[in-house]
């Protein structure tokens, strides 16, 4: 999980760098924030596909990694909404 967290953070920072630079250069321009959940999904899939045993075939590996990563992203998103609800109410 530490690898997934670090890799998703690096992907998020690298993808957000041009957007942040554009906001600094012209503060009045509209900005687009890349969702962190997408970066977490990509990083999780990459780490899990490397860690899964080679006994399964390609489609099975992809399904297992997609399921695991989807579960992590869903838990992350649910905990984010739950914390917002608890802290704001």
DSSP state of 33: P
Task: Give, for all 89 residues of the chain, the pLDDT tens digit.
Answer: 677 778 888 888 887 788 777 777 777 766 666 787 888 888 888 888 888 877 677 888 889 889 988 998 898 888 888 888 888 87
Q: Residue 21 in contact with residue 29, Cβ under 8 Å?
A: no
What is the residue extent of each domain of the chain?
2-88
CA distances in angstroms from 81 to 58, 84, 89, listed in the order given: 34, 5, 12
pLDDT value of position 59? 86
Q: Name the nearest CA neighbour of 45 among 73, 15, 75.
A: 73
Please report the pLDDT score of residue 71 as a whole number: 92
């Amino acid at each position: 999980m530490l690898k997934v967290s670090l890799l998703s953070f690096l992907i998020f920072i690298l993808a957000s760098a041009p957007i942040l630079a554009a906001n600094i250069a012209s503060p009045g321009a509209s900005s687009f924030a890349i969702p962190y959940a997408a970066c977490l999904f990509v990083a999780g899939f990459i780490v899990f596909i490397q860690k899964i045993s080679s006994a399964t075939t390609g489609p099975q590996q992809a399904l297992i990694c997609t399921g695991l990563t989807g579960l992590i992203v869903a838990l992350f998103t649910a905990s984010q909404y739950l914390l917002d609800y608890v802290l704001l109410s």
